[in-house]
Amino acid sequence: MDQIRELYQEVIIDHGRHPRNFGSLEHPTHHAQGFNPLCGDQLYLDLFLEGDIITDVAFRGEGCAISMASASLMTETLKGKTIAQAEQIFHDFHQVVTEGKVNHAAELAKLGKLSVLTGVCDYPARVKCATLAWHTMHNALSNQTEVASTDDEAS
Ligand code: ZN
């Protein structure tokens, strides 16, 4: 394991153990529930939007370190973003973790902290753990009341 991977691992463990923005919002404007049956990861996501800007985010749930770390990192990433920006980041992140496009420095820079999760592309079974929070965000933003399931995703 190279040093960069080791560093990434530490960030994932840290966020998995001490998730940021863990809890719920008092008056969320959008919320959704997500479930990854493959691993048993479950989470609830609350968003507060002013206009089309996400000003507050919180999540709670139970799952593996990757799903919790991914949700935690996502909440930090989403604050201050517009809906369009959030969906664009989801798109980029999804592409990187499913297609393993991690060789481009520009791609990584665009993802910022989320780049710590790009290593999951080597572990197809864990990709859904990493993308669950984002599917849940997508459902929340599009006011879908169905539970976001990673089952819908082609693997
Ligand atoms: Zn998981």
Whether 63 shows a pLDDT value over 50: the answer reads yes
Question: What's the pLDDT score for residue 1?
Answer: 46
Q: Give the structural domain span for 54.
A: 2-144
**Within a domain: residue 155?**
no
- Residue 92 sits at φ, ψ, to 5 deg, of -65, -45
Ligand 1 midpoint to CA 151 (Å): 13
Ligand 1 midpoint to CA 57 (Å): 21
* Amino acid present at 62: E
Identify which has the larger pLDDT, 107 or 12.
12
Q: Report how many helices (DSSP H) and strands (DSSP E) the chain contains, helices first.
A: 5, 4
CB atoms under 10 Å from CB of 18, counted, come to 11
Ligand 1 midpoint to CA 24 (Å): 21
In this prediction the pTM is 0.88
State the pLDDT confidence band at 138, using cuts at 50, 70 and 90. Answer: very high
**Within a domain: residue 32?**
yes
**Residue 35 and residue 41 in contact, taking contact as beta carbons nearer than 8 Å:** yes
State the pLDDT confidence band at 144, using cuts at 50, 70 and 90. Answer: confident
**Within a domain: residue 110?**
yes
Ligand 1 midpoint to CA 10 (Å): 17
- For the chain, how many structural domains are there in total? 1
Ligand 1 midpoint to CA 120 (Å): 11
Give, rounded to a whole angstrom, the gap between the first and last alpha carbons of the chain: 25
CATH of the domain at 34: 3.90.1010.10
